[in-house]
Amino acid sequence: MSFRRAYIIQCVSTGEFLTPNDFWTKNLDRAGRVYDPQEARDTAEASISDGDFRIVSLWEGESDALPY
């Protein structure tokens, strides 16, 4: 199995994660994944106006990856 790095956007003040359809969830399994670090930063800046975000990275097996 091969692995790839995924980036997840989290709102710091609420602890919620950004979903693929621009909603928020507390469930990490429903969080959207971005596979490019610059795209993750651009998405976070566009979605959270005051910089109240953190970008979390993790490794996931490509067979486990969600189809986003």
pLDDT in tens, 9-63: 999 999 999 999 999 999 999 999 999 999 999 999 999 989 999 999 999 887 6
Cβ atoms within 10 Å of 19's Cβ, excluding its own:
15
In a domain, 8, yes or no: yes
For residue 13, the enclosing domain spans 3-59
**Whole-number Cα distances in Å, 59 to 17, 49, 62, 66:** 17, 27, 9, 13
What pLDDT score was predicted for residue 1?
77
What pLDDT score was predicted for residue 61?
86
The structural domain count of the chain equals 1
Residue 41 tokens read as: 């930063």
Residue 7 above 80 pLDDT?
yes
In a domain, 68, yes or no: no
Yes or no: say if 8 and 36 are a contact pair by the CB < 8 Å rule: no
Residue 68 above 60 pLDDT?
no
What pLDDT score was predicted for residue 39?
97
In a domain, 10, yes or no: yes
